[in-house]
């Protein structure tokens, strides 16, 4: 019988090997990461000015993941993943520039936290911007994999390489509902994504036992088609071989795979929540037993490396950190005059083109104009796809706004999603990052709320926080508004909420020609655009909305976002005599104003905003100065609305041109639209209510 020592030796010989150069590189980078964390602690007065996390304890699995990513791959990381970044080849000083909020921070120019990369650099994997809200990165990451699979299906990916997506998560974040949405779509579509879950058994101060009854590996078993693997996240060799297998699984297009890596937490949760505040000595000692650095060092010594060589590597790492820290410390701060750049990426659509009313054109309703616009886009842009609830198959949307598209373009391009508004919205960020161009639909405006998290944290901030590297092209269609008996969950107006989200554009057409022209401009805009489409105008069935049906523009027709339109002009003599007023409105308000204006022939001008952000302030200001009397009309409840905000701005900036207080009219300030049609009418504006306000305004 062999001795214990002989048995161990035999086990070592049989253990799978990793290339020695890789092992030595990993060792040096572990020393680098460790010294970086120590440096930050030793210089708390500088390094803790802004909150940061380090990868101490997670170095083995992170380096195993980062060192095997290819330049054609994509990654979505979480805030503790500094060793992944070192593993792909970034230098300590580059991370330190972000730590200190410096101008040359390669990710954001000092705009976002340490460990929040936005990387688009030759020879490196693409790492789009993402928020630090834990778990939220799973949806955009899955959207990237979804986009890659779509582009492959259309023959649109260049080269023979098979890119994969790495989505890195902390175990605590897997309890987020949005992670489940991502898992669901990944298995449903068999997407090429690796979910790396790093489990150190801590949230902030809450332990795993407090937060969950199962770990991520066990949880993922509920998603049929999700391959799973456990690795020892403290052991670089086990982690490296495990990640190699996982990446290959995804490259072979077998579907998604989850890697669960158990790791110690050797540092603080963050510099702002220090370990000594909530962790006892016993817990810290337990975690220290699985420190990845001595585990790798022990293996290297047992397999032939000398202490001298390892010390040389460690000393080189230490010298690099010292030098890089001084460089970062003495680097320039951002130019404060550049604080507001990159709110939006520049759109190529800056002027109206095409024929709005070509010879021989027939009239179309708004819903058909939208359908034809999307059809034109899909026909001319193979990178475009369209998805949402019930838009695929034979139905083509509950309003038939996507009718025939699935049959025409196939299920790869036009498809139904589960009831997952967060995925519908957030996946467009991933699609955009890989070069796919998504048009998506939220079935009713009242259902957008589960997607707001993604819209705010992922889509709206990406361009600004990445300093323009990752604008997100996303066209989100949202049927909106009340039109008779839709009730509290199918009738709401949401534009003021959307307009409080900086970094997105909001469009609201009122007729078929505008619908077609604005839809195409929204698609070509490199920024997130929410297209609000009033259900009551779709078919021109609501009395008084016949003008929403227009002659169909030609296939080249396009309208720049941010350009208002005068849909009714006042008589010049009435204007000259000071007898006129302007109604500034959009959507259904255009038709209430048109009906009301008949009572005041020649005295009313109507400005249809068409786009609420960007707002055509020049047109607004011009109309105010011309007429001196203003009504801002909306379908929304009035209190704290966009309409009130616009009225306030007009009062402030155009005060000397006003002959009367700016008037506003909107729905009653109630939380929902009632089901009964008579109650609905009582709540909403209408032509008679508009006429009464105009009477007051013109008589002032």
- Parallel, antiparallel or unpaired: strands 611-613 and 505-507: antiparallel
Q: Are 107 and 77 in contact (CB under 8 A)?
A: no
Q: What is the DSSP letter of 112?
A: S
Match 């796919």 to its residue by tokens: 436
Q: How far apart are CA 552 and CA 518, in angstroms?
A: 13
What is the DSSP track for 9-64?
Answer: HHHHHHSPP--HHHHHHHHHHHHHHHHHHHHHHHTHHHHTSS-----TT-HHHHHH
Q: How far apart are CA 199 and CA 201, in angstroms?
A: 6
| Number of neighbouring beta carbons within 10 Å of residue 369 | 28
Q: How far apart are CA 391 and CA 427, in angstroms?
A: 16
Q: Are 73 and 22 in contact (CB under 8 A)?
A: no
Q: How far apart are CA 203 and CA 529, in angstroms?
A: 35
Q: How far apart are CA 75 and CA 120, in angstroms?
A: 11
116 is catalytic: no
Strand partners, 9: none
Q: How far apart are CA 365 and CA 637, in angstroms?
A: 27
Q: How far apart are CA 310 and CA 300, in angstroms?
A: 9
Cα torsion at 307, 308, 310, 315 (round to 10°)?
130
Q: Which of 411, 370, 422 is nearest to 387 (CA)?
A: 411
- Parallel, antiparallel or unpaired: strands 384-388 and 363-364: unpaired
Q: Are 178 and 422 in contact (CB under 8 A)?
A: yes
Report CA 10 to chain centroid distance, whole Å: 52
Q: Are 480 and 494 in contact (CB under 8 A)?
A: yes
Q: How far apart are CA 33 and CA 39, in angstroms?
A: 10
Q: Are 167 and 78 in contact (CB under 8 A)?
A: no
Q: Are 692 and 668 in contact (CB under 8 A)?
A: no
Q: Are 608 and 633 in contact (CB under 8 A)?
A: no
Q: Are 512 and 548 in contact (CB under 8 A)?
A: yes
Strand partners, 556: none
Q: How far apart are CA 172 and CA 149, in angstroms?
A: 29
Q: How far apart are CA 580 and CA 293, in angstroms?
A: 79
| Number of neighbouring beta carbons within 10 Å of residue 71 | 14
Q: Are 38 and 293 in contact (CB under 8 A)?
A: no
E strands in 379-527? 384-388, 414-416, 437-441, 474-480, 505-507
Catalytic residue from among 490, 524, 551, 627 = 490
Q: Are 683 and 673 in contact (CB under 8 A)?
A: yes
| Active site amino acids | 490
């Amino acid at each position: 019988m062999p001795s214990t020592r002989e048995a161990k030796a035999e086990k070592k010989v049989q253990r799978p090997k990793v290339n020695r150069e890789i092992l030595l590189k990993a060792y040096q980078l572990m020393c680098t990461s460790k010294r970086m964390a120590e440096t930050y602690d030793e210089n708390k007065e500088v390094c803790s000015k802004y909150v940061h996390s380090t990868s101490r304890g997670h170095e083995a699995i992170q380096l195993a993941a980062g060192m095997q990513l290819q330049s054609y791959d994509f990654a979505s990381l979480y805030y503790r993943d500094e060793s992944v970044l070192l593993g792909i080849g970034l230098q300590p000083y580059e991370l330190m520039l972000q730590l200190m909020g410096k101008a040359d921070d390669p990710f954001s120019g000092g705009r976002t936290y340490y460990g929040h990369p936005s990387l688009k650099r030759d020879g490196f994997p693409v790492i789009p911007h993402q928020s630090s809200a834990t778990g939220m990165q799973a949806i955009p990451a899955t959207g990237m994999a979804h986009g890659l699979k779509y582009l492959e299906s259309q023959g649109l990916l260049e080269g023979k390489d098979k890119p994969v997506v790495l989505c890195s998560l902390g175990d605590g974040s897997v309890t987020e509902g949005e992670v489940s949405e991502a898992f669901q779509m990944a298995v449903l579509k068999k997407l090429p994504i690796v979910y790396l879950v790093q489990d150190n058994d801590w949230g902030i101060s809450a332990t795993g036992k407090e937060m969950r009854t199962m770990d991520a590996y066990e949880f993922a078993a509920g998603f049929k088609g999700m391959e799973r693997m456990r690795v020892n996240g403290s052991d670089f060799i086990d982690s490296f071989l495990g990640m190699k297998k996982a990446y290959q699984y995804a490259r072979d297009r077998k579907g998604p795979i989850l890697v669960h890596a158990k790791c110690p937490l050797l540092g603080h949760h963050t510099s702002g929540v220090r370990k000594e505040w909530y962790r006892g000595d016993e817990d810290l000692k337990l975690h220290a037993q699985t420190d990845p650095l001595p585990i790798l060092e022990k293996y290297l010594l047992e397999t032939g490396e000398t202490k001298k060589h390892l010390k040389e590597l460690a000393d080189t790492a230490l010298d690099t950190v010292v030098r890089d820290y001084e460089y970062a410390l003495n680097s320039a701060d951002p130019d404060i005059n550049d604080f507001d750049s990159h709110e939006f990426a520049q759109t190529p659509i800056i002027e109206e083109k095409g024929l709005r009313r070509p010879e021989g054109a027939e009239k179309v309703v708004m819903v058909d104009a939208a359908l034809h616009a999307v059809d034109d886009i899909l026909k001319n842009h193979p990178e475009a796809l369209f998805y949402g609830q019930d838009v695929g198959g034979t139905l083509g949307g509950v309003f038939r706004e996507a009718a025939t598209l699935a049959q025409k373009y196939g299920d790869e391009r036009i498809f139904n999603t589960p009831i997952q508004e967060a995925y519908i919205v957030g996946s467009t960020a991933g699609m955009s990052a890989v070069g796919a161009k998504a048009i998506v639909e939220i079935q009713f405006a009242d259902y957008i709320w589960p997607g707001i998290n993604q819209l705010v944290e992922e889509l709206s901030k990406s361009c600004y926080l990445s300093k323009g590297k990752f604008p997100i092209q996303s066209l989100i269609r949202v049927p909106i508004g009340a039109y008779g008996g839709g009730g509290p969950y199918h009738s709401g107006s949401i534009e003021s909420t959307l307009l409080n989200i900086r970094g997105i554009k909001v469009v609201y057409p009122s007729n078929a020609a505008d619908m077609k022209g604005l839809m195409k401009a929204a698609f070509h805009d490199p920024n997130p655009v929410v297209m609000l489409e009033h259900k009551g105008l779709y078919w021109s069935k609501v009395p008084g909305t016949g003008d929403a049906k227009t002659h169909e523009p030609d296939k080249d027709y396009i309208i720049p976002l941010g350009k208002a339109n005068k849909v009714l002009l006042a008589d010049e003599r009435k204007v000259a005599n000071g007898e006129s007023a302007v109604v500034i409105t959009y959507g259904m308000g255009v038709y209430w104003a048109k009906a009301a204006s008949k009572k005041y022939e020649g005295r009313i001008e109507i400005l249809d905003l068409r786009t609420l952000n960007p707002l055509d302030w020049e047109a607004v200001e011009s109309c105010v100065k011309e007429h001196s009397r203003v009504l801002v009309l909306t379908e929304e409840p009035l209190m704290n609305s966009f309409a009130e905000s616009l009225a306030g701005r007009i009062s402030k900036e155009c005060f000397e041109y006003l002959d009367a207080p700016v008037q506003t009219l909107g729905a009653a300030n109630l939380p929902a639209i009632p089901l009964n049609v008579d109650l609905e009418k009582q709540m909403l504006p209408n032509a008679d209510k508009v006429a009464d306000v105009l009477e007051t305004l013109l008589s002032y």
